[in-house]
């Protein structure tokens, strides 16, 4: 496109889809917009589900990206509780679960990702949960509390956030991780060690190298997690947080290029010029690393929404970005910028014992990524250094008495 009167159909009313709908209007798109979402509520933020909201520190309304009225006021035809079932590229139409068909001039796939289930006995028992949707979070919140034991399968960011929230709600928490360290897929060893010790200080118990073989139950409800070797960890509930799989079946079935997610270009355009893909479902280029990859973060969902809305509304593409994300656990704010590709050195700035430090991942004297704990200047300046590709002095970077401004100068 850009056809200012064209009909834009967005499949998936999550963070990316909801943002794209709002941005299209903001960028002046005057044609009809249809936003199709299988969940019963308007687009909302997922990060609080494992943090403030789970702990009871935020109400349901505060999750919404926009109030429900926003969509009607902006002539966005929001269709909740409706699933897109297939795409007919020849006819430029989408079949929906209510039996209707909707035609498009431009189509945006924003179907996100779903939690990966464990194909093991007992996985369907009551009390074995995931945390992906507001509905999942309601169930979890009603289950966790004083006197209960929560088993968390998977020591990634979501698992650790659930563990911290579980402790805040007064539950006993045990985290079961298959690898021999936490955050093995996403963070360096220094960070894994730090988080493990911090959680232990808050009473979380860890089982590392723990291969979960089955969930045990009584009367249809989970009572424990069985590890390889036969040991059983008793629990009242279990949350499985072992990663997410992109909802890319609609794209595959209609013949779009799909790799680890739907393949798009810098305008979020798929192999069909009238179809875009954004957010967790997209496998997108990241020019600063000369690579394609799929990301699961709010900033990535916002960036994809900007790219697709700009292309459809005839605006120039947004300037390149550094991918980033965050995680909140207890009083820790972790901010991560970039990805640790092709790294040959890891440098720690500050003292982990103070819970205020940053880990820089370097390729030669270029910063590839930074993980900053309670250290906003390290995060912000690190992000700038990743984008500018300016070399740094490692000695100055490692010295916390030299300010980050001076390091970056």
Of residues 30 through 69, those in contact with ligand FAD by CB under 6 A are 36-39, 46-47, 49-50
Whether 113 contacts 296, CB under 8 Å: yes
Measured in degrees and rounded to the nearest 5, phi and psi for residue 292 equal -110, 140
Burial class (CB in 10 A: 0-12, 13-18, 19+), 284: buried
Shortest distance (Å) from residue 396 CB to ligand FAD = 30
Q: What are phi and psi of 403, to 5 degrees?
A: -70, 160
CA 288 centroid distance within chain: 21
Separation CA 114–CA 246 (nearest Å): 6
Q: Which residue is nearest to ligand FAD (CB)?
A: 14
112 binds ligand FAD (CB under 6 A): yes
298, 18 contact by CB (below 8 A):
no
Residue 156 binding ligand FAD, by CB under 6 A: no
- Applying the rule CB under 6 A, the residues between 317 and 376 that interact with ligand FAD are 325-327
Tell me which of 58, 298, 332, 402 binds ligand FAD, using CB under 6 A: 298
3-state secondary structure of 190: helix
Would you count residue 23 as binding ligand FAD (CB under 6 A)?
Answer: no
CB of 108 to ligand FAD, least distance (A): 10
- Nearest distance in Å: CB 20, ligand FAD: 9
- Taking the complex as a whole, how short is the minimal distance between the CB of residue 326 and ligand FAD, in angstroms? 5
Which residue's CB is nearer to ligand FAD, number 83 or number 394? Answer: 83
Task: Determine which residue in the list 42, 53, 71, 111 makes contact with ligand FAD, applying CB under 6 A.
Answer: 111
The torsion angle over the Cα atoms of residues 382, 386, 392 and 396, rounded to 10 degrees, is 10
Minimal distance, residue 60 CB to ligand FAD, in Å = 15
User: Which one of residues 1, 23, 131, 164 is an interface residue with ligand FAD (CB under 6 A)?
Assistant: 131
State yes or no: residue 158 binds ligand FAD (CB under 6 A).
yes
**Cβ proximity to ligand FAD, 329 vs 368, nearer residue:** 329
- Cα 317 to Cα 265: distance, rounded to the nearest angstrom: 11
Burial class (CB in 10 A: 0-12, 13-18, 19+), 59: exposed
CB of 328 to ligand FAD, least distance (A): 7
Q: Can residue 297 be called a binding residue for ligand FAD (CB under 6 A)?
A: yes
Rounded distance between C-alpha atoms, residue 127 and residue 142, angstroms: 11
Alpha-carbon distance values, 128 to 70, 151, 235, 246 (Å):
36, 9, 10, 21
* Residues at the interface with ligand FAD (CB under 6 A): 11-17, 36-39, 46-47, 49-50, 83-84, 110-112, 131-132, 158, 247, 250, 279-281, 296-299, 301, 325-327
């Amino acid at each position: 496109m850009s056809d200012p009167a064209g009909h834009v159909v967005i499949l998936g009313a999550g963070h990316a889809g909801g943002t794209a709908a709002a941005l299209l209007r903001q960028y002046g798109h005057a044609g009809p917009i249809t936003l199709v979402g299988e969940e019963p509520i308007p687009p909302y933020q997922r990060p609080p589900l494992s943090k403030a909201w789970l702990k009871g520190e935020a109400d349901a309304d505060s999750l919404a990206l926009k109030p429900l009225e926003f969509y009607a006021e902006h002539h966005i035809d929001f269709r909740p509780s409706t699933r897109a079932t297939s795409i007919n590229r020849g006819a430029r139409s989408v079949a929906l679960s209510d039996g209707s068909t909707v035609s498009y001039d431009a189509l945006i796939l924003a179907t996100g990702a779903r939690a990966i289930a464990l194909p093991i006995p007992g996985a369907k028992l009551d009390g074995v949960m995931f945390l992906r949707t507001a509905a999942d979070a309601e169930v979890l919140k009603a289950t966790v509390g004083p006197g209960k034991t929560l088993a968390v399968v998977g020591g990634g960011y979501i698992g650790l956030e659930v563990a911290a929230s579980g402790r805040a709600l007064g539950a006993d928490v045990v985290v079961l991780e298959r690898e021999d360290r936490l955050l093995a897929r996403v963070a360096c060893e220094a960070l894994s060690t730090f988080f493990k010790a911090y959680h232990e200080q808050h009473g979380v118990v860890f089982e590392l190298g723990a291969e979960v073989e089955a969930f045990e139950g009584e009367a249809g409800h989970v009572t424990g997690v069985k590890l390889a070797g036969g040991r059983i960890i008793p629990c009242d509930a279990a949350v499985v947080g072992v990663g997410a799989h992109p909802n890319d079946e609609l794209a595959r079935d209609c013949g779009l290029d799909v790799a680890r997610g739907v393949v798009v270009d810098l305008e979020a355009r798929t192999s069909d010029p009238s179809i875009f893909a954004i957010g967790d479902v997209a496998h997108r280029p990241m020019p600063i690393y000369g690579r394609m990859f799929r990301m699961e973060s709010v900033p990535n969902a916002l960036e994809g929404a900007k790219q697709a809305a700009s292309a459809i509304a005839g605006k120039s593409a947004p300037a390149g970005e550094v991918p980033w994300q965050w995680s909140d656990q207890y009083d820790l704010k972790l901010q991560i910028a970039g990805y640790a590709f092709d790294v040959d050195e890891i440098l720690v700035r500050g003292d982990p014992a103070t819970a205020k430090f940053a880990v820089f991942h370097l390729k030669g004297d270029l910063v590839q990524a930074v993980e900053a704990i309670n250290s906003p200047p390290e995060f912000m300046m690190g992000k700038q250094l990743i984008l500018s590709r300016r070399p740094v002095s490692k000695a100055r970077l490692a010295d916390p008495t030299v300010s980050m401004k001076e390091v970056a100068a």
